[in-house]
């Protein structure tokens, strides 16, 4: 139970790049970081318009002189202060992640970055090398990975409660972009512009979320080959896809399957993960996140509820409120940020084992996400053929 107690010794001095007024994602980062006092928001470059950024920062009670016009100034000026920031979160359009992330690491800062970290494996590896060299954290906000019931699922799978794993099915399939809404709505236009989002739309933007959840549930599984079929049902989006199917063959005979879509008309987010073993299956759905289906073959389906005593200690660790009270996206994010803070603290004392034990989406997850999208795109462009995974 974390209710209000500090998890870190001293709150981490923290800034944001992007995520200004009206940004949902910026708000999510702030709610998560500030929820339990693990971070203090002390500085920022919140907006490409410096005036607007300063105004917004002040509304958040950031000192005016620490509301900077851009990320370079932010990093440079804060570095000069004895009480300068230790960590920065990046919530800018995708195309800028690499440069800002690189600059932050070079400035010696811990980083929390929106996915995707960057557009190519080469860039990702550059960031990884830099992070290792500087011993800094690069946390990637696969938010639902912080949900208590995902931790529960991981513990159950690790304990063998499903038997031998056979399949993992992933899905993130909403319908909000069934029409070309981007034509009328500039705030979604960048999502379908390769300049801003790289070589894919739903693969990078949606699919990487359940893909990372699958990674966290099956930490030792390696893909051997995959096949991706992608479509642009709204034709003006081509070459970017608004729908994709991916088949994956893992080592050990495990099969992976993923469906990502922005044109699943009438559906909310539809983020689901189902892991199927020789004895039982587990299924989790983001829209009703407080329930986890545990289906043992030959027994009645069981509905596990967040917060109950029968859950594993890993899952209970993040309890904020009694079972039966629904938690949602913001708590999942806050759990993640709480662990990011612990990881930063651990790295500051060079305790990489402690970081490993936290089970958070770090630089490896960031690199892997980019690599996976790259393979999917390669397969799709070759006509939806199998490509070896390396």
In angstroms, what is the minimal distance from the CB of 328 to its own copies?
A: 4
Alpha-carbon distance 340 to 108, whole Å? Answer: 16
Phi, psi of 276 (to 5 degrees): -115, 125
Q: Where are the alpha helices (DSSP H) in 135-289?
A: 148-158, 186-189, 194-197, 202, 208-217
Q: What is the separation of C-alpha 255 from the centre of its chain, rounded to a whole number of angstroms?
A: 23
CB of 66 to its own copies, least distance (A): 17
- Beta carbons within 10 angstroms of residue 99's beta carbon: 15
Q: Which is nearer to its own copies, 82 or 383 (CB)?
A: 383
Eight-class DSSP state of 11: P
Minimum CB separation of residue 298 from its own copies in Å reads 7
Closest CA to 127 of 368, 365, 360, 363: 363
Whole-angstrom distance, CA of residue 242 vs CA of residue 225: 23
By the 10 Å C-beta count (0-12 exposed, 13-18 middle, 19+ buried), 1 is classed as exposed
Which residue number, 91 or 370, has a Cβ lying nearer to its own copies?
91
User: What is the torsional sign of CA 123, 128, 131, 136?
Assistant: positive
Asked if the bond preceding 239 is cis, omega within 30° of 0, the reply is yes
Q: Which is nearer to its own copies, 114 or 286 (CB)?
A: 286
Residue appearing with tokens 């949900």 = 147
Looking at the Cβ atoms of 289 and 362, the one nearer to its own copies is 289
**Min dist. Cβ of residue 71 to its own copies (A):** 19
Is-contact 281 274, C-beta < 8 A? Answer: yes
Give the nearest distance from C-beta 275 to its own copies in angstroms. 10
Cβ-based neighbours of 381, under 8 Å, separated by 6 or more: none
275, 282 Cβ separation under 8 angstroms: yes
For every residue of 156-189, DSSP letters joined together read: HHHTTTT-SEEEEEEEEE--TTSS-GGGT-HHHH
Pairing of strands 39-45, 243-250: unpaired
Of 153 and 263, nearer to its own copies (C-beta) is 263
* Least distance from its own copies to the Cβ atom of residue 324, Å: 4
Nearer to its own copies, 137 or 228 (CB): 228
Q: Which is nearer to its own copies, 26 or 369 (CB)?
A: 26
Query: Any alpha helices (H) in 107-147, and if so which ranges?
Result: 121-134
CB of 331 to its own copies, least distance (A): 7
Joined tokens for residue 348? 């500051």
Identity of the residue, 257 or 316, whose beta carbon is nearer to its own copies in the bound complex: 257
Instruction: Tell the smallest beta-carbon distance from residue 24 to its own copies (Å).
Output: 6
In the complex with its own copies, the residue whose CB is nearer, 1 or 76, is: 1
Query: In the bound complex, what is the minimum distance in angstroms from residue 311's beta carbon to its own copies?
Result: 10
Phi, psi of 389 (to 5 degrees): -105, 125
Q: In the bound complex, what is the minimum distance in angstroms from residue 297's beta carbon to its own copies?
A: 4
- Given the complex with its own copies, which of 118 and 149 has the nearer CB atom? 149
Tell me 207's DSSP state: I
């Amino acid at each position: 139970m974390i209710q209000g107690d500090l998890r870190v010794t001293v709150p981490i001095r923290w800034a944001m790049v992007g995520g200004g007024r009206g940004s949902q994602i910026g708000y999510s980062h702030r709610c998560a970081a500030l929820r339990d006092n693990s971070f203090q928001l002390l500085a920022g470059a919140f907006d490409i318009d410096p005036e607007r950024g300063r105004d917004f920062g002040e509304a958040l009670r950031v000192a005016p002189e620490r509301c900077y016009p851009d990320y370079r100034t932010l990093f440079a000026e804060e570095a000069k202060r004895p009480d300068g920031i230790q960590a920065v979160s990046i919530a800018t359009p995708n195309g800028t992640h690499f440069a800002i992330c690189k600059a932050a690491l070079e400035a010696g800062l811990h980083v929390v970055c929106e996915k995707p970290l960057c557009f190519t494996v080469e860039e990702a590896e550059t960031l990884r090398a830099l992070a290792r060299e500087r011993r800094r954290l690069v946390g990637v906000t696969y938010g639902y990975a912080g949900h208590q019931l995902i931790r529960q699922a991981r513990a159950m799978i690790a304990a063998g409660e499903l038997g031998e794993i056979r399949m993992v099915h992933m899905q993130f399939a909403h319908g909000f972009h069934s029409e070309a809404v981007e034509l009328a709505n500039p705030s979604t236009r960048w999502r379908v512009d390769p300049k801003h989002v790289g070589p894919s739309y739903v693969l990078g933007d949606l699919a990487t979320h359940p893909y990372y959840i699958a990674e966290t549930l099956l930490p030792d599984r390696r893909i051997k080959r995959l096949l991706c079929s992608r479509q642009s049902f709204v034709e003006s989006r081509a070459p970017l896809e608004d729908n994709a199917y991916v088949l994956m063959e893992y080592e050990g005979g495990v099969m992976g399957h993923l469906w990502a879509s922005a044109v699943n008309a009438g559906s909310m987010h539809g983020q689901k993960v189902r892991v199927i073993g020789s004895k039982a299956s587990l299924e989790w759905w983001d829209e009703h996140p407080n329930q986890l289906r545990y289906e043992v073959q030959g027994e009645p389906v069981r509905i596990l509820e967040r917060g109950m005593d029968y859950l594993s200690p890993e899952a209970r660790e993040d309890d904020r409120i009694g079972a039966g009270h629904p938690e949602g996206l913001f708590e999942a994010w806050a759990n993640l940020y709480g662990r990011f803070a612990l990881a930063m603290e651990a790295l500051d004392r060079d305790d990489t084992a402690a970081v490993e034990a936290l089970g958070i989406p770090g630089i490896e997850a960031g690199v892997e996400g980019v690599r996976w999208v790259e393979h999917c795109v390669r397969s799709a462009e070759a006509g939806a053929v199998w490509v070896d995974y390396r």
